[in-house]
């Protein structure tokens, strides 16, 4: 999984200094942001940053896992599953209809963790295939 605590983004690039300096402050002013930390005796060893969205189809919230990382020294110990269980608990508590995330095709380890937990490719109509994630940079 990506090394979030070390400042490595999902694209494998370092975070800009401005992002590192302002991230906590900016997350704190977003009421639909949920930050979960996995701790080991006061040391953060895992993080999940999630944002609420809304499903017009289900008329219920969605919890999107935007960032998810386990410190390399703690990988393989079941912490990812524990953090995902906590995310599921938060999502159910919010009345969410689902939890979503994106994972890079080549990140086989993370993909395996998510699939083992129950995440699947997104599709509304099997005849139309799975959804394709897109972006437009602004």
Tell me which fold the domain 17-128 belongs to: Aminopeptidase (3.40.630)
Within 10 angstroms of residue 67's Cβ, the number of other Cβ atoms is 15
Query: Domain spans of the chain?
Result: 17-128
pLDDT at 59: 98
Strand 60-70 relative to strand 43-55, pairing: antiparallel
pLDDT at 5: 41
In the chain, the percentage of residues whose pLDDT exceeds 90 is 75
Which pTM value belongs to this model?
Answer: 0.86
- Listed as ranges, residues in the chain with pLDDT below 50 are 1-8
3 state DSSP class of 75: coil
pLDDT at 10: 59
Task: Supply the mean pLDDT for the chain.
Answer: 90
């Amino acid at each position: 999984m990506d090394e979030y605590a070390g400042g490595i983004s999902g694209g494998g690039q370092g975070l800009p200094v401005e992002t590192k300096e302002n991230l906590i402050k900016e997350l704190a002013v977003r009421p639909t942001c949920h930050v979960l930390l996995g701790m080991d005796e006061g040391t953060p060893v895992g993080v999940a940053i999630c944002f609420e969205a809304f499903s017009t189809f289900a008329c219920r919230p969605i919890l999107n896992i935007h960032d998810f990382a386990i410190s390399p020294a703690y990988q393989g110990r079941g912490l990812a599953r524990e953090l995902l269980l906590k995310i599921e608990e938060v999502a159910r508590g919010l009345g969410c209809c689902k939890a979503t995330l994106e994972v890079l095709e080549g990140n086989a380890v993370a993909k395996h963790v998510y699939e083992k937990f129950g995440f699947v490719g997104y599709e509304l109509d099997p005849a139309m295939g799975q959804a394709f994630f897109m972006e437009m940079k602004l």
